[in-house]
Amino acid sequence: MAGRKAKPVNPADLKAIFGLEPEAAIEYLKGKGYTITWNWQEMLDKAHEQAFTVAKAMRLDVLSDIREALETALQDGKTLQQFITDLQPVLEAQGWWGKQVLVDSQGDAELVQLGSPRRLKTIYQTNLQSSYMAGRKAAMEDTAETHPYWQYIAVMDGMTRPSHAMLNGKVYRHDDPIWSAIFPPNGFNCRCRVTALSEAAMKRRGLTLAYSRGTVSTDTVEIGTNKRTGEIYTAAVTRVRTTDANGRPVVFSVDPGFNYAPGEGLAEALRRKREAA
């Protein structure tokens, strides 16, 4: 569960943290297709690698407008408030704003929440964090020969999910299979990140290398029910058994829907693009 309300993610802050220009992040976002979904539970995990979606955005022109606004925010370093100010009138003109009665593909009508400042905040933070982390992962993969150790960093404040805090400071090799599940973001509005370390940095900081073998499990959890059909939605959730700073056993858990690493294959795609230029 989340703690207090998460602080908005600012693209300029992300760029400063990760030392990145936005090209790789934009490449990740632009490389996606589009998928129409009614509920967020219909598209989980790696499906987000291939397609961009916003629940109940049932027209491609609406989805296109939202993604274009996200790409502009990445490129120009727009804040959350700038993003909302620019996109809200566009969505209002499209009729995708406020609470409305919508009819789904089965002909069933339902009162639903479309655009709102709160929804745009979640769209902005989740997509920007995923895009920047995909770019960050690609950059780290390119330097794995000299910086093969990856350290999980959680923002240790009152807004950090207790579960995510469990992995703060843990170091695994870049090729440890654990990263295919726990590379951030690991939930809506997650602010965790990963940094790459050299052998010398590991020794200088006195860090201990962890190994995921025998500590990882995957559970299937219920994440909601389709109000019209009664279908129960489920998701795979990775859990990691580890120890906290005091040596006590604890369990890290990925949030439902985030059981994947953003940017799989992005490093190779960027290399091919550079070679072709």
- Is pLDDT at 275 greater than 80 in this prediction? no
When pLDDT is cut at 50, 70 and 90, the band that residue 232 belongs to is very high
Question: What tokens were used for 259?
Answer: 């059981």
Q: How confident is the model at residue 90 (pLDDT cuts 50, 70, 90)?
A: very high
* Helical (H) or strand (E) element with 101: strand 99-103
How many C-beta neighbours within 10 Å does residue 129 have? 23
Sorted by where each begins, the domain ranges of the chain are 11-276
DSSP 18-31: HT--THHHHHHHHT
b/e per residue 247-269 (b: at least 16 CB within 10 A):
eeebebbbbbbbbbbbbeebbee
Give the per-residue pLDDT at 151: 97
Tokens of 15: 């760029």
Helix axes 266-276, 23-30, angle to 10 degrees: 110
Residue 18 confidence class, pLDDT cut points 50, 70, 90 = very low
- Most confident range, picked from 5-9, 64-68, 244-248: 64-68
